[in-house]
Amino acid sequence: MPTLRALKARQVLDSRGRPTVEVDAIADGGARGRAIVPSGASTGRHEALELRDGDPSRYAGLGVTKAVANIGATIAPAIRGMDLDDQAAIDAALLALDGTANKSRLGANALLGVSMAVAHAAAAARGEELFAHVNRLWKAKAAGLDPSVPREPTMPLPMVNMISGGLHAGRNLDLQDVLFIPTGADGYSQALETIVAMYRAVGDVLRKMGAEANLVGDEGGYGPRLGDDEQALKVVVGAMLACGLTPGVDGHIALDVASTHFHDPATGTYKLSNVPRPMDAGAMVDMLAGWVDRYPIISIEDGVAEDDWEGWKSLTARLGDRVQLIGDDLFVTQTARIERGIASGAANAVLIKVNQVGTLTETLDALALARRAGFRPVVSARSGETEDATIADLAVGTAAGQIKIGSVARSERLAKYNRMLRIEEDLGPRAPFAGRATLP
């Protein structure tokens, strides 16, 4: 059994030039695993705490040297010598060391960096690919679940950012992401080719309209100033037609409304820049339902705000049988909140972001809980990313079915798409692909 010999942590920079935590885990035999922690911008209020230094004289207060120091001073001495294959025991030790509900003592960024690096080192010690190691963890976690829950490594269907707005693109639109799903694809690499064709076509449509198609948002989607949100939907439909796709048949739209970020909790209303009066949840649901009727939308994330449980229930009652309704800020990858959603009929899918919860084991718990309730999981990157591609292996190894990384621009995004090309090659010419069947 490989054991942990040492941890080495350092501060590196993410895709926005902000400091983040990188961890090397070294096995007794010398095998190494490395992981870098991602970071969000449109974060949910209930996420685990990302520990920042707060020293305004260095990196505008965003340094993570305290989190790095916690790894060296507190975490490394406590978990040294532990079995690297026992991810659950290591993660339990991390939680016990931190001791807080939101990981604020050591920092969720410290915990996650260690948790992921350990998994990489365990795989390296055995000379196997990370997705295969994650798959073993997933099979153990899924042991008691219904036999229909996917267990074998499976290439996910990507949902891909085409047009960015909200906090990721200077609030040019209220919608944060307008995404494309290549629902006609039979395999991952074929899906990727369609995605790239679509990305180019969206640029062409924008240029023809005289809109900006050179500036991209934090996730690589185009960041044009359009008249309103609905225009962004029309652009993506136009690009599908230009690519020879039939909207609603072999190409679909997904939205990340990220509505928490234009919701006013004091009045319970949503303030869209193009709608003259604030809207209540009912009006938001009406607007989204109208779009679903007029556009080939198959998935909506955070259609209402993170604590608007009543709004979530009416959104789900209205659209839940035809549209995937993903809770991101709502669930923050945490089982207690997902359980509340299951019990109350809020959402029917869960966005899975490793740093919202802070350890790999808790991420697997969230995936298993979602599967137990028939909620679709969508493994997701953050708007602040790096060359770390752990989530590609996570999505394949847990057969999650869907992945959301951003666009096919900016190398912190391509690191994951490219990693999946390599995994697909490993899985062989008949690599299982989740495809259209994973959606409603």
Which residues of this protein are in contact with ligand PGA, per CB under 6 A? 40-43, 176, 256, 258, 328, 380, 382-383
Count of residues touching Zn ion (by CB under 5 A):
3
Say if residues 57 and 148 touch (Cβ distance below 8 Å): no
Supply the minimum distance, in Å, between the C-beta of residue 43 and ligand PGA. 5
Q: Which is nearer to Zn ion, 14 or 91 (CB)?
A: 14
Query: Helices (H) and strands (E) in the chain — how many of each?
Result: 14, 13
Q: Which is nearer to Zn ion, 256 or 412 (CB)?
A: 256
Residue 129 among the catalytic residues: no
Question: Residue 398 binds what, of ligand PGA, Zn ion, none (CB under 5 to 8 Å, by partner type)?
Answer: none
Supply the minimum distance, in Å, between the C-beta of residue 403 and ligand PGA. 12
What does DSSP say about strands 324-327 and 252-256: parallel, antiparallel, or unpaired?
A: unpaired
Q: Which is nearer to Zn ion, 87 or 161 (CB)?
A: 161
Alpha carbon separation from 323 to 1, 9, 215, 292 (Å, rounded): 46, 42, 31, 8
Choose, from 313, 353, 404, 416, the residue flagged as catalytic.
353
Q: Which is nearer to ligand PGA, 135 or 348 (CB)?
A: 348
- DSSP class of 323: S
Please name the residue that has the structure tokens 């990858």: 333
Supply the minimum distance, in Å, between the C-beta of residue 294 and ligand PGA. 24
- Residue 127: which residues within 8 A CB-CB, separation 6 or more? none
Among the listed ranges 81-89, 180-188, 298-306, 393-401, the one in contact with Zn ion (CB under 5 A) is: 298-306
Shortest-Cβ-distance residue relative to Zn ion? 328
- The token duo for 105 is 């003592």
Question: Residue 40 binds what, of ligand PGA, Zn ion, none (CB under 5 to 8 Å, by partner type)?
Answer: ligand PGA
Cα–Cα dist 337/330, whole Å:
7
Shortest-Cβ-distance residue relative to ligand PGA? 40
Cα–Cα dist 418/258, whole Å:
27
Nearest in space to 411 (alpha carbons), one of 385, 380, 383: 385
Q: Which is nearer to Zn ion, 42 or 438 (CB)?
A: 42
Supply the minimum distance, in Å, between the C-beta of residue 415 and ligand PGA. 16
**Using alpha carbons only, how large is the chain's radius of gyration in Å?**
21
Question: Residue 43 binds what, of ligand PGA, Zn ion, none (CB under 5 to 8 Å, by partner type)?
Answer: ligand PGA
Strand partners, 379: 352, 403
Burial of 54 (0-12, 13-18, 19+ CB in 10 A): exposed
Supply the minimum distance, in Å, between the C-beta of residue 116 and ligand PGA. 17
Question: Residue 224 binds what, of Zn ion, ligand PGA, none (CB under 5 to 8 Å, by partner type)?
Answer: none
Supply the minimum distance, in Å, between the C-beta of residue 258 and ligand PGA. 5
Q: Is 328 in the site for Zn ion (CB under 5 A)?
A: yes
Q: Is 306 in the site for Zn ion (CB under 5 A)?
A: no
Q: Is 385 in the site for Zn ion (CB under 5 A)?
A: no
Per-residue x/- mask for Zn ion, residues 247 to 276, rule CB under 5 A? ---------x--------------------
Supply the minimum distance, in Å, between the C-beta of residue 405 and ligand PGA. 10
Nearest in space to 8 (alpha carbons), one of 18, 20, 22, 19: 22
Q: Is 53 in the site for Zn ion (CB under 5 A)?
A: no
Alpha carbon separation from 401 to 63, 177, 434 (Å, rounded): 35, 20, 5
Alpha carbon separation from 185 to 181, 193, 240, 424 (Å, rounded): 9, 9, 14, 14
Residue 353 among the catalytic residues: yes
- The token duo for 340 is 């509340």
Choose, from 22, 50, 219, 301, the residue flagged as catalytic.
219
Among the listed ranges 204-212, 303-311, 327-335, 430-438, the one in contact with Zn ion (CB under 5 A) is: 327-335
- The token duo for 409 is 């621009």
| Three-state secondary structure call for residue 39 | strand
- Residue 242: which residues within 8 A CB-CB, separation 6 or more? 201, 204, 205
Q: Which is nearer to Zn ion, 256 or 385 (CB)?
A: 256
Q: Which is nearer to ligand PGA, 153 or 165 (CB)?
A: 165
List active site positions.
219, 353
Residues engaged in binding Zn ion (CB under 5 A): 256, 301, 328
